[in-house]
Amino acid sequence: MKKEAAKIRIEKLKDEINYHRYNYHVLDRETIAPAALDSLKNELFSLENEYPDLITSDSPTQRVAGKPLSKFVKTKHSRPMISLFDAFSESDMRAWQERNENYLKQTWNQEYYCELKLDGLAISLHYESGQLQIAATRGDGVTGENVTANVKTIQSIPLVLRRPTTAELKAAEFSARETKIIFDLLDNGVIEARGEAIMTKKVLRDLNKKYESLGKPLLANARNGVAGSIRQLDSKITAERHLDFYAYDLLLGNYERGEVVATKSQLDSLLRLLGLKVLADNNICKNLEAVFTFFNGVGERREKLAFDIDGIVVKANNLKMWPTLGVVGKAPRYMMAYKFPAEQATTKVNDIVWQVGRTGALTPTAILEPVAVGGATISRSTLHNFDEIQRLDLRLGDTVVIERSGDVIPKVISVLKNLRTGKEKKITPPAACPMCGGQVEQVDDEVAYRCLNKKCFAVSLRQIEHFVSRGAADFDGLGPKLIEQFMAAGLIKDAADIYAIDETKKSDLLSLERFAEKKAENVIAIINAKRELDLARFIYSLGIRHVGEETARTLAVMIAENLHPEKKQAVALSSLISTFQSKSRDDLANMEDIGPVVAESIYSFWHDEKNLELLKKFERNGVKIIIEAFGKNKSVQTKLAGKIFVLTGSLLGLTRDAAKDKIRALGGKTTESVTKNTDYVVAGENSGSKYDKAKELGVTILNEEEFLKIIE
Ligand code: IVH
């Protein structure tokens, strides 16, 4: 980006981030998800990196966010509640360890202590002589808000600290001196426990169910739920929210932690002995490799946990290291937040495409500037309906926040209108159906716009299903369910669109439900394997009315006679079209086995503009139509010349397609139904009504062995 443009973008980003920071940290209103805000901050950070002389002291990158709210009484923390540095990859974590090694001038050979990073609200609990006096929020880190009345409603928080027995402290490896200090502080000193107030997923679900039935606005997520509950002026409301609290830190009077407690793991034991709730998942990890294993394991269990987490916190287990390493800027060197990839991000909307569903409803999909979200690159996002576009006031060119959770298709959450340049374009519903060109209307009091052609989706679906079927293009593994899923997601509108699905579209596949890396790769491989199609199969797969496999073959021979290929070669689509178009209805009707009705159907197919467009799309999307060397084939077609075969039941030694090919190669033909003109019925295992019909008409019936002899 040029400097002038960067300057304008930086100013806009700063205002935007500041606006959300104020809402989030001061008013407790989440106007943007933290991960999306991170995304804006990252953009600002890299622009400032590129042009360091554009950095100003008021930039959000230059300070720690947050001012206390005035509606609660302010309270100063005994020691600042600092923040954490974030790491997003193993290499970030290695770089952190390396920085510490450089700082200490020695190799790191110490244990880490890994904890879950709870996504709630940080609270400090100030106990004097073991009695809870003040509970405070973090605020700006130096001064927080006194929320004691509300916090007292959390059942898992002790109002009086539990007094451990000497034996319990001994078992937890506290020395006599340390035990005495702990008892003195409990009797006559100050102990401060810090931790996270949370709302479990179940409580959130139940509350939202209740709010829904009462017609009240729903809570967006557990973090919002807990922050809103703690910031209630009426503590009765907080009590109804059933919050929970997990402790992760302990301040012992004026002592440094390391003077009384040896390790973070031992500190957790003390927290528990004092009656506080501590996460059972926390664990010692010998080195970074063990930390990575812990992180991956937690990632796998994340969905099943009772509460939301956004990563893990990795701490030096040896508490003596904490003051040694100290704090730099806003956060300590001795711990690191190792976060899961962001599930939200910001990106630009480049286009809107409309897809037609089973019921004819038109659904808009936003085509996005590709962006990494939660480990996948996202380039499309569902918008549900036109109302959603209006509600969001979405325009082409807008910067939007998108969210991806689990396997679900990403959603546009909000539009960052302050980032508009004035060049954004309004979005209108399409005038005609993008699938069939039919009329589009918004039906009375319905949200959706619909294609009025009742058969629109079903007809297209059937056509594509026919194209991929066994006798046609034969996409083994691309069944009707997948086809319907691709259509519903707007990935394909016709058979030719299938060939546009290649490596570059992998992220689109990954954004579909039940699609993981392997399945996406598999689908791409299936499609790539069918980029060359035999001419007869191609003609059959087009689904021209009355043109079955045999007629398609007759037409392929006609093309071959015209083109006289010397060897196996690709036929240019233009010569295919011009050959078909050079034939009159009569020419076609004079061909073997083609009557006037079939001729009319073939003729009109090759003169229809829409069909010609589709054919060109096949070529554009990289389909090669192959024709066999003609002269050679013709000379062998004698042994079964003119004989008509019907295959029924399953053959053990060869596939039905191979059997048909063999019959044709010897000059014979296959048809689907048994008539008096049928010469042979080949009856395999489990043959049914065709066998009975053959008996009834006195047609020769061959078993597999007899058939194999004939075609030998
Ligand atoms: S230790 C220096 N441990 O994460 C700050 N924090 O992003 C000491 N958090 O404000 C924090 N789980 O509210 C620590 N196991 C854990 C945590 C945790 C969640 C929160 C905490 C902090 C925020 C920083």
Residue range 300-336, pLDDT digits in tens: 898 889 998 989 999 999 999 999 999 998 899 999 9
294 is written with which tokens?
A: 């812990």
Q: Is 533 in the pocket of ligand 1 (CB under 6 A)?
A: no
List the single range of 8-17, 442-451, 548-557, 656-665 with lowest mean pLDDT: 442-451
User: How many CA atoms within 13 Å lie on the side-chain side of 552?
Assistant: 22
Q: What is the mean pLDDT of residues 237-251?
A: 90
Is residue 558 within 8 Å of 551, Cβ to Cβ? no
609 is written with which tokens?
A: 């503009």
56 confidence band (pLDDT: 50, 70, 90): confident
CA distance 191 to 252: 5
Domain boundaries of the chain, sorted by first residue:
3-62, 76-339, 344-426, 454-530, 533-627, 644-710
pLDDT at 127 over 70: yes
> How remote is the CA of residue 127 from the centroid of ligand 1, in Å?
20
pLDDT at 19 over 90: no
Instruction: Kindly report the backbone phi and psi dihedral angles of residue 418, in degrees, each rounded to the nearest multiple of 5, phi listed first.
Output: -65, -15
Among protein residues, the one whose CA lies closest to atom 4 of ligand 1: 117
**Strand 680-683 relative to strand 644-648: parallel, antiparallel, unpaired?**
parallel
Angle at 289 between CA 284 and CA 294, to 5 degrees: 50
CA distance 141 to 150: 20
Among protein residues, the one whose CA lies closest to atom 18 of ligand 1: 117
In tens, the pLDDT along 349-397 reads: 999 988 887 678 888 999 999 988 866 778 888 887 888 899 899 999 9
pLDDT at 409: 65
| Class of 454-530 in CATH | mainly alpha
Q: Is 117 in the pocket of ligand 1 (CB under 6 A)?
A: yes
Q: Is 119 in the pocket of ligand 1 (CB under 6 A)?
A: no
Angle at 22 between CA 17 and CA 26, to 5 degrees: 150
Is residue 457 within 8 Å of 490, Cβ to Cβ? no
Among 53-57, 161-165, 233-237, the range of highest mean pLDDT: 161-165
Is residue 272 within 8 Å of 337, Cβ to Cβ? no
Is residue 363 within 8 Å of 430, Cβ to Cβ? no
CATH number for the domain whose boundaries are 3-62 = 1.10.287.610
Is residue 322 helix, strand or coil? helix
Q: Is 268 in the pocket of ligand 1 (CB under 6 A)?
A: no
CA distance 367 to 446: 25
Same fold, 344-426 and 533-627: no
Among protein residues, the one whose CA lies closest to atom 21 of ligand 1: 122
pLDDT at 629: 61
**What angle do the packed helices 201-214 and 222-230 form, to 10 degrees?**
80
Is residue 31 within 8 Å of 24, Cβ to Cβ? yes
pLDDT at 323: 96
Q: Which of 143, 123, 85 is nearest to 325 (CA)?
A: 85
List the single range of 167-171, 413-417, 507-511 with lowest mean pLDDT: 507-511
pTM score above 0.75:
no
CA distance 413 to 418: 15
pLDDT at 27: 47
pLDDT at 216 over 90: no
Q: Is 313 in the pocket of ligand 1 (CB under 6 A)?
A: yes
Catalytic entry in 7, 14, 74, 117: 117
Q: Is 337 in the pocket of ligand 1 (CB under 6 A)?
A: yes
Q: Is 84 in the pocket of ligand 1 (CB under 6 A)?
A: yes
CA distance 605 to 611: 7
In tens, the pLDDT along 698-707 reads: 999 999 989 9
471 is written with which tokens?
A: 């006798």
CA distance 360 to 487: 12
83, 84, 276, 308: which to mutate for ligand 1, most atoms within 8 A of CB? Answer: 84
Q: Which of 527, 490, 524 is nearest to 505 (CA)?
A: 524
pLDDT at 67 over 60: no
Of the chain, the percentage scoring pLDDT greater than 70 comes to 93
Element (H, E) at 644: strand 644-648
Q: Tell me the Cα Rg of the chain.
A: 36
25, 115, 117: which to mutate for ligand 1, most atoms within 8 A of CB? Answer: 117
CATH number for the domain whose boundaries are 344-426 = 2.40.50.140
CA distance 94 to 487: 45
User: How many CA atoms within 13 Å lie on the side-chain side of 347?
Assistant: 24
With tokens 């770089």, the residue in question is 95
pLDDT at 296 over 80: yes
117 is catalytic: yes
Tell me how far CA of residue 277 lies from CA of 123, 130, 181, 334, 568, in angstroms: 13, 16, 22, 23, 76
Among protein residues, the one whose CA lies closest to atom 1 of ligand 1: 248
Identity (one letter) of the amino acid at 536?
A
Sheet with 644-648, strands from edge to edge, namely 669-671, 644-648, 680-683, 700-702
Residue 304 has a CB neighbour count (10 Å cut-off) of 7
Q: What is the mean pLDDT of residues 267-285?
A: 94
Q: Is 196 in the pocket of ligand 1 (CB under 6 A)?
A: yes
Candidates 3.40.630.10, 3.30.420.40, 3.30.470.30, 3.60.20.10; CATH matching 76-339 = 3.30.470.30
> How remote is the CA of residue 396 from the centroid of ligand 1, in Å?
39
Q: Does domain 533-627 have CATH number 3.30.420.40?
A: no
Q: Whole-number mean pLDDT of the chain?
A: 88
CATH number for the domain whose boundaries are 644-710 = 3.40.50.10190
pLDDT at 385: 82
490 is written with which tokens?
A: 């707007």
Q: Which of 39, 34, 40, 35 is nearest to 17 (CA)?
A: 40
pLDDT at 631 over 80: no
Is residue 337 helix, strand or coil? strand
114, 121, 248, 278: which to mutate for ligand 1, most atoms within 8 A of CB? Answer: 248
Q: Is 203 in the pocket of ligand 1 (CB under 6 A)?
A: no
